[in-house]
């Protein structure tokens, strides 16, 4: 008989990991009702490990990350349950001054849109240097030196000459490098990158992913990569959590998911990216739209779009079933999905 994963096992989480998100629930109170944006998410990441969190817009992947960073717990957002433990301490119970210290020094984040995240009226070097001045009280001269070192580290050519340039004088890829420099300035133990390459062309995307992987290796950071694009994370992630409608629907070591997904949604995502080992295959597009969080479908939230749907899917919400080890799928018919991939 199929077992249901325990909370800890459920999403590839293991007790004692550097960062553990445990059964997190986040809601937004709107005029039209309560939107359950995150619905019992559990995952973990350890030092030196890369977790890719995958899903369409509205799946809850970015809301979870923003909650980890402590930038969401204010109206209309509300943390309705769960814990976020960093080194075993629940961040949700810490006073704001301690939380602020962890932000930047313990856990740091790179946002999607570097142009709006950077201040247009200050030179980039000044903005990087501010991290040291604000958090460490470093002198102006020393902070500027460190800013140049960091610009070098993220491979901005002629860093010394460009330290006084403004954000608009850099390309999109270079601006994203500057954001990464700011995010790693204080040597965080965990780096969260939220769609860090979405606005960039394919070549630059690969370069930024390569840079993140290299920085992670060099400093043994835990890395959480949030993306809607499975193709972008294939080479760099150790494990994947696939999110849909605020829940994790599949978690797996990256190789296992690529080889043979165990949830129809992951399968659809995988079939919609071009793969060199599937030459000649037609690309697939998942039909339908992501669920409306104010009016979630009954039973399995994926049922309106699912080619494997049976009658009970409309009424019975699937738990996260154990497949093996830390692998899980929230699909009643995961065996069938796996079997299809093997033929």
Binding site for ligand SF4 (CB under 6 A): 264, 300, 302-303, 306, 308-309, 313, 318, 331-333
Rounded Cα distance, 136 and 161, in Å = 25
Which residue's CB is nearer to ligand SF4, number 48 or number 304?
304
> Tokens 């986040």 belong to which residue?
26
Which residue's CB is nearer to ligand SF4, number 48 or number 297?
297
Task: Detail the DSSP E strand segments found in the chain.
Answer: 19-30, 33-45, 50-54, 77-86, 89-90, 107-110, 190-194, 222-227, 239-244, 247-253, 321-324, 327-329
Q: What helix, strand, coil percent values describe the chain, rounded to 5?
A: 40, 25, 40
Give min distance, CB of 250 to ligand SF4, in A: 10
Which residue's CB is nearer to ligand SF4, number 64 or number 329?
329
Which residue's CB is nearer to ligand SF4, number 215 or number 252?
252
Which residue's CB is nearer to ligand SF4, number 182 or number 286?
286
Give min distance, CB of 24 to ligand SF4, in A: 22
Give min distance, CB of 339 to ligand SF4, in A: 13
User: For residue 48, is it left (φ>0), alpha (ψ between -120 and 50) or beta?
Assistant: left
On whether the CB atoms of residues 231 and 273 are closer than 8 A, the answer is yes
Which residue's CB is nearer to ligand SF4, number 210 or number 307?
307
Which residue's CB is nearer to ligand SF4, number 238 or number 340?
340
> Tokens 């133990």 belong to which residue?
189
Give min distance, CB of 42 to ligand SF4, in A: 19
Give min distance, CB of 308 to ligand SF4, in A: 4
Which residue's CB is nearer to ligand SF4, number 131 or number 300?
300
Rounded Cα distance, 237 and 51, in Å = 6
Rounded Cα distance, 323 and 335, in Å = 9
Closest among 129, 200, 206, 115 to 164, alpha carbons compared: 129
Give min distance, CB of 324 to ligand SF4, in A: 18
In degrees, rounded to 5, the angle at the alpha carbon of residue 47 between the alpha carbons of residues 42 and 53 is: 40
Write b or e for each residue in 142-165: b if 16 or more Cβ atoms lie within 10 A of its Cβ, otherwise e. ebbbbbbebbebbebeebeebbeb
Q: What size, in residues, is the chain?
A: 343
Give min distance, CB of 10 to ligand SF4, in A: 16
On whether the CB atoms of residues 190 and 107 are closer than 8 A, the answer is yes
Give min distance, CB of 95 to ligand SF4, in A: 41
Closest among 334, 343, 318 to 264, alpha carbons compared: 334
Tokens of 290: 């992501």
Give min distance, CB of 300 to ligand SF4, in A: 3
Which residue's CB is nearer to ligand SF4, number 228 or number 309?
309
């Amino acid at each position: 008989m199929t077992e249901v994963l325990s909370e800890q096992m459920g999403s590839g989480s293991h007790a004692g990991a550097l960062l553990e998100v445990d059964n997190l629930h986040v809601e937004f109170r709107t005029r039209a009702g309560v939107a359950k944006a995150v619905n019992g998410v559990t995952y973990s990441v350890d030092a030196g490990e890369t977790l890719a969190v995958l899903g369409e817009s509205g799946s809850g992947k970015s809301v979870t990350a923003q909650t980890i960073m402590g930038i969401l717990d204010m109206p209309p957002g509300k943390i309705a349950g769960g814990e976020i433990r960093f080194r075993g301490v629940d961040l949700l119970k810490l006073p704001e001054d301690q939380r602020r210290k962890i932000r930047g020094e313990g856990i740091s984040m790179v946002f999607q849109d570097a142009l709006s995240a950077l201040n247009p009226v200050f030179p980039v070097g000044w903005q990087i240097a501010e991290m040291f001045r604000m958090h460490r009280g470093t002198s102006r001269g020393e902070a500027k030196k460190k800013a140049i070192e960091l610009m070098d580290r993220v491979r901005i050519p002629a860093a010394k000459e460009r330290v006084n340039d403004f954000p608009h004088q850099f390309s999109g890829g270079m601006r994203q490098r500057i954001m990464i420099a700011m995010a790693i300035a204080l040597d965080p133990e965990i780096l969260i990158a939220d769609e860090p390459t979405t606005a960039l062309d394919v070549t630059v995307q690969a370069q930024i992913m390569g840079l993140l992987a290299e920085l992670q290796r060099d400093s043994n950071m835990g890395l959480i990569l949030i993306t809607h694009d499975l193709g972008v994370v294939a080479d760099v992630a150790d494990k994947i959590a696939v999110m849909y409608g605020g829940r994790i629907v599949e978690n797996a070591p990256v190789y296992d998911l690529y080889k043979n997904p165990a949830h129809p949604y992951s399968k659809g995502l995988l079939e919609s990216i071009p793969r060199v080992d599937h030459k000649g295959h037609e690309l697939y597009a998942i039909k339908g739209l992501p669920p409306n969080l104010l009016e979630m479908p009954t039973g399995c939230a994926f049922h309106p779009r699912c080619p494997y749907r049976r009658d009970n899917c409309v009424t019975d919400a699937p738990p996260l079933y154990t497949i093996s080890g830390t692998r899980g799928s929230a699909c009643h018919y995961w065996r069938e999905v796996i079997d299809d991939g093997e033929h």
